[in-house]
Amino acid sequence: MINENLMNSFPALKRSRAGKRPVYLDNACMTLRPIQVIRAMEEYYTQFPACASRSTHWFAGEVNERVEESYKQIAKFTGAKENELVFLKNATEALNLVANSIQKFTSETRKIVVITDKEHSSNTIPWYKLEAKGIIKLVILETKRDGTFDFEKFVDFMKNYGDKVILVSTVWVSNLDSVKFPIEEIIEIAKKYGALTMIDAAQALPHIPVNFENLGADFMAFSTHKMVGPAGGFLIVKEELMEQLEQLSTGGGTVEDFNTKRNIQFFKGRARLEAGLQDYAAIIGSAAAANFLKEVGLKNIEEHEKELTAYALELLGKIEDIGILGPKDPEKASGIVTFYIKKPAVSVEERDVGEAMSDKYNVMVRTGRFCVYNWFNAKGFPTFFTPIRASFYLYNTKEDVEVLAEAVKEAVDKVKWMPTVDVNGW
């Protein structure tokens, strides 16, 4: 349940500056960590700070056991099998790992990779680079003006070109406006035409119940630092595809044996893809984060965010000269409210609004393009346009939303004298 007790678990929320508490609304970038996660990591550093899987001594035995147990717990949390997980630096590395392996799956007749114009740069730039080398053909599906997935266009495209598509790689929940794409249906259509699927679940897994097995996707990427865990990420890859993935780096921990004749015997499974010594504290901390979220309940988190989103939409909606990007219905998108001030002055210098809100109210939001440049450029926003993103999580409260609205109101009031601008009809 979401209550005060739960909020007390987050030490960063107890901080104060100029007599005011922090109002942390940048959760789509990185969430705060509860004491349970910090303690789990501390335990590693204070009790058994050794390497897993290679040494056979006392500390190594303990860390090995904890790391193996952690993979099991993370697998349970994500609905994946334990041997389908690969621990990486972040979701970006997970997406790159698959992109880097795409040649293992393409053929002369199947070279198309389908993404949308609402992808994070981490699910866009790797494909641009592969397209430039002639390895794939990239198709970018345009999303609708309200930020939703254009399912009809997708079905139509697949009807005509589905047999040439090797991979459909799409975000599940958008980091721009928290709009959810119909992921089950997208996977079903992709499969119908024999295409692989990769789901960018960086904004899904922390906020809604996710089960990899039930979804039937081939790959899924997520970040642990967006789900109250330490910096890190995982790629989930279907068991039967694991051995086809290309290593991003190689060396220690990946090989069983090699000799001067250049014969290499690689390990099977994730060890081949997790080169070098691993961040064991982060793996253990990620499991603690998964357990924390499980205990709170993803359904409870989802409901809580919906409530905060509705309240934010209500309060921001009352402020003159504020526009909302994305749906105004928390049933369609919840967890993130992205809005803008319809005046050019506050946005001339990017970050002004965000900095001002942080300086005076301790309100921490994100301003800019949120790494979704394609979407902003395709929709033709003016250069002065600087959206502000408030992203909520389980420890945020209605009072946080009220402080946000107060801070926004002040920002608008400051530029009252400026003319209101029609931002391309938005």
Ligand X SMILES: Cc1ncc(COP(=O)(O)O)c(C=O)c1O
In this complex, which beta carbon is closest to ligand X, that of residue 119 or of residue 412? 119
- List the interface residues with ligand X, window 227-286 (CB under 6 A): 233
Instruction: Confirm or reject binding of residue 90 to ligand X (CB under 6 A).
Output: yes
Give the total residue count for the chain.
426
In this complex, which beta carbon is closest to ligand X, that of residue 205 or of residue 315? 205
Is 29 a known active-site residue?
Answer: no
Pick from 116, 223, 334, 367: which binds ligand X (CB under 6 A)?
223
- DSSP assignment of 213-230: HHHT-SEEEEESTTTTS-
- DSSP assignment of 51-71: -SSS--SHHHHHHHHHHHHHH
Residue 174 C-beta: closest distance to ligand X, Å: 7
In this complex, which beta carbon is closest to ligand X, that of residue 202 or of residue 341? 202
Instruction: Confirm or reject binding of residue 98 to ligand X (CB under 6 A).
Output: no
Whole-angstrom distance, CA of residue 340 vs CA of residue 411: 11
Instruction: Confirm or reject binding of residue 210 to ligand X (CB under 6 A).
Output: no
Yes or no: say if 223 and 202 are a contact pair by the CB < 8 Å rule.
yes
- DSSP assignment of 114-163: EEETT--GGGTHHHHHHHHTTS-EEEEEPPPTTS---HHHHHHHHHHHGG
In this complex, which beta carbon is closest to ligand X, that of residue 264 or of residue 378? 378
- List the interface residues with ligand X, window 118-177 (CB under 6 A): 120, 122, 171, 175
Q: Which of 60, 371, 418, 421 is catalytic?
A: 371
The phi, psi pair for 78, rounded to 5°, reads -95, -5
Q: Whose CA is closest to 53, among 42, 67, 41, 43?
A: 67
Residue 222 C-beta: closest distance to ligand X, Å: 8
Segment lying near ligand X (by CB under 6 A), choices 86-94, 103-111, 243-251, 356-364:
86-94
Instruction: Confirm or reject binding of residue 70 to ligand X (CB under 6 A).
Output: no
Instruction: Confirm or reject binding of residue 91 to ligand X (CB under 6 A).
Output: yes
For residue 275, count CB atoms less than 10 angstroms from its CB and return exposed for 0-12, middle for 13-18, buried for 19 or more.
middle
| Residue 207: half-sphere exposure toward Cβ, Cα within 13 Å | 28
In this complex, which beta carbon is closest to ligand X, that of residue 91 or of residue 337? 91
Residue 26 DSSP symbol: B
Find all residues with CB under 8 Å of 199, minimum gap 6, and list them.
170, 171, 172, 183, 187, 215, 217, 219, 220, 221
Segment lying near ligand X (by CB under 6 A), choices 75-83, 88-96, 266-274, 412-420:
88-96
Residue 362 C-beta: closest distance to ligand X, Å: 22
Residues in the interface with ligand X (CB under 6 A) total: 14
Contact positions vs ligand X (CB under 6 A):
28-29, 90-92, 120, 122, 171, 175, 200, 202-203, 223, 233
Q: Which residues form the catalytic set?
A: 371
